[in-house]
Structures are given as C-alpha cells and as structure tokens.
Structure 1
Amino acid sequence: MTTHPLDAADARTPPADEVTVAAVLLDMDGTLVDSTAVVEAVWGEFAAAHGVDLDTVLSVSHGRRTIDTVADFLPDPHQARVVAAEIEAAELVRLDGLTAIPGARDLLASLPDARVAVVTSAERELAVRRLTAVGLPCPTVLVAAEDVAAGKPAPDGFLRAASALGVPADDCAVFEDAEAGLRAARAAGAFTVVVGGHESPTIRGLRRVDDFRQVRARVEGDRVVLALP
C-alpha cells in the first residue's frame, strides 16, 4: 500500500485523501446492503422464543455468524445448530425492505472483479439473495459463513478473500460497519474503513464514511486508488 506520514493513533491511517491498495474487501449486511429491519425482526423472534433480552442479543449479533450468536445464548450445541438453521431459513424468504447502501452500486461497478471481494457472516445463499434483491452484483470471490472455521471477529474471512484474489491482506482496504467485522479487518492487517456510525475503541484512528457516495475508486495498472473524505 502507498505510504504516507502516519499519525500515532493508527499506523494504517494516512492523512492524504487517496489510498492505493491491491484490492477492496467489503462486508455485506450494513455495509453494502441495509438489512437492519429484517435482521432485527428475526432476532426479536429469537429473543421472544427463548426468553432472552433483545438488546443483549443485538449487542453481540451484528456482523457475526448466526451460529456464533445463537451459541452465546443456547449452550446445548445441538439446539444451537437447529435454531441457527431455522433463523437462516427464515432470513432467506425475507427480502422485503432490503435496500442497497447509497453509492454501493457505483463503487462495485468501478472495481474489476479481480480486485474486489465480499466477506460476510451470512451463509452464501443468503448473501447472494440479498445482493441480488437490491440489484448489486456478486463478485466471483465471496467468502461466506460456511467458508471459514472461525467467523468474525477472527480475521479468517478477510485472509481467505485476499488469498483468493492473490494479494496480501495487508495490501487490501476493508469496508465494515460492525464491531466484529472491524476487529477482524484490523486483525488481518488491512486498511480499515468504518461505514456508518459505529462507535467503539476499535475504530480509534480509522477512516469513516457515511456511505459509498463519499468514496471513489479508479484502477491504475494492478492497483486500486480509493479517494476518501
């Protein structure tokens, strides 16, 4: 990645408004697709059915695999697997209300397939359905929940995506909206950009965009140049 004078808060954050990387890795839910209403409705049903506090569930569910969240509340592994599968099946048929994050379509259109990947905690079928439902393309490299042994906040998904693109993870830019994904991106060594309003100590020193209308990408040779606010 291009080097710039760096601030002490985060050695991955250049002060310039352009960042050059080998590839761009994007989360899906909350980053490319606004699925908040559907996700919160499904977890609300889970909380009611199992007598757990919805706010507590939502505080740990965003950006994580379904099975990992369910297992936090249902200690029996068999029950957790059954319930997680039920939640995933319910999500597959709930496509109303999904919208693309503003600017996502234009950003993806500006990136060649060999320079972009989606890394999601959703199952592959759900990821493809949601992207398709909001009119976004599915990159060839899509790393989904079932593709990794450890989900976010482990860096496995981003490392796998970078490897599939043939580039080092620390030469990639990651766009993420949730705590688990942001921690995973930083653990992978990627230049990490927060999408939306998430606040936590994890984001100290990171770039932030409200949505992708604030991002421009162009390709120069085998590099991607990102213009950021």
Structure 2
Amino acid sequence: MVTLPCAAVLFDVDGTLVDSTPLVERAARVWAVEYGLDADEFLSGAHGRRTSDRVADFLPAGQVAAATARLDALEAERTDGITALPGVLALLTSLNGMPWALVTSMDKEQLRVRTGVAGVPLPPVVVTAEDVARGKPDPSGYLLAAGRLGVDPSACLVIEDAPAGIAAGRAAGATVLAVATSHDRAELTGAHAIVPDLTHVAGAPGGLRLTR
C-alpha cells in the first residue's frame, strides 16, 4: 500500500467519477454526420476536453458556438447508460471531511444531470466549462478549484482519467493520480501514480491510500 499525501482532492468527473461514454459517443456520431466529419477522429481526442475546444479543432471559428450547442443538445436528449464508476461512492464517503472539489470540462447543466443520474453528490466547490477561459490541458480549472478551497495547489491531489486532465493537474503543480478507466495505462504515464479504478483508493489520515 502507498499513501499519497494531500490536503484536498480535486476530481475530474466524466471517466473518473461518472461513465457517460455510450451517451457521448452516440451523440457525437449523429453530430459528425451532420457536419460532414469523421466521428472516430473527433472522438479520439475529445475525452477530457471542453466540447467547444474540441469542436474548434474541426470547424471554423464562426461555426463553433452553434455546432457546440447542437452537440450539447444531442447529448441532452438521453440519459441512459450513465453510471457511477466502481469505487466512487465508497471513496467519497471515506474522505472523512477532507476538502474536495470537482473540475470538469462539462457545462453546469451536463454536470447536474449526469451526476444526478449516477447518484454522485455535488460538493460546495465545482468548476465547470463556463468558469474558465481555457479548458484542459490548461491548469486554470484546477487552480481555480484549489483557490476556492483555500488550499495551495501543490497540496492538492488531482484524480484524472485522460491525458489532457493529467497535463492540467501537473501544470497546476498538484500531485496527479490517474485511473485507467478510459485510456490505456501507456497514455497515462504523465501521472505520478496509476490505478485501475477507484476501488483501489481510499481516504487515509493526511491523504489517500492506494492498494494493489
């Protein structure tokens, strides 16, 4: 067993706490056809990033807002397939008063719906896509969350599942723990530690305990 010391935990959401992959992929495939894009290419780099940032990789600036709104609308049409990932609720319970926050590339309404369906509680500090000018891999979201908690970023533990989020956590100066729930371990080597999922993580005095 290994303990990662921290004074607060900053969680990514989609792919870390909540799995909405079937919904996201289904909507993206419909959307890509409408815009004449390759869905697999779009999806290959979409996870962990704000929708608008990924859309901007493919469409002219003047089309990004409308195209993003269309993709968001397609995702909002259904909620089937959204679940809490293994170990999530047990880990949150085990924090025993340690401050924690959510830092997500989703917007506020997506976060509300998906966490609600999955049964994941919302903490007092939540940073969503609307709260930052630049999304992951920029560290703005994690820096903002640490500031709102009143904890130095270097004393925070970021938990992420995607390379963009890992890069954001590292750039913020935090320790980063990766969960291999959406990407191969080989893509997560930027993290300080990697676990298969959150069933291998629990709260401990002064940090989080990792188990094999």
Query: Structure 1 length normalisation: TM-score?
Result: 0.86
Aligned to 2:189: 203
Cα distance between partner residues in 1 of 2:96 and 2:132: 25
Distance 1:67 1:159, change over 3 A: same
Aligned AA (1:208): I
Q: Does 1:214 align with 2:200?
A: yes
Cα distance between partner residues in 2 of 1:225 and 1:86: 41
Structural mapping, 1:82-93, within 5 Å: 82-93=66-77
Aligned AA (1:100): A
Aligned length: 209
> After superposition, what is the alpha-carbon deviation per residue over 1:87-127, rounded to whole angstroms, capped at 9, x for unaligned?
11222332111110101011112235661001000001111
Determine which of 65, 81, 94 is the counterpart of 1:81.
65
- Which structure would you say has the larger Rg? 1
Query: Structure 2 length normalisation: TM-score?
Result: 0.92
Aligned to 2:105: 121
Aligned AA (2:30): E
Q: Does 1:140 align with 2:124?
A: yes
> After superposition, what is the alpha-carbon deviation per residue over 1:29-86, rounded to whole angstroms, capped at 9, x for unaligned?
10000111111111111221122222211121111101111111111x2321011012
Aligned to 1:37: 22
Distance 1:142 1:114, change over 3 A: farther
Contact 1:113 1:139 in 2 (8 A): no
Cα distance between partner residues in 1 of 2:134 and 2:115: 23
* Structure 1 alignment gaps of length 5 or more: 1-15
Match of 2:57, SS state, is helix
- Over the aligned positions, Cα root-mean-square deviation in angstroms equals 1.7
Aligned to 2:114: 130
* Structure 2 alignment gaps of length 5 or more: none
Aligned to 2:6: 21
Cα distance between partner residues in 2 of 1:134 and 1:201: 26
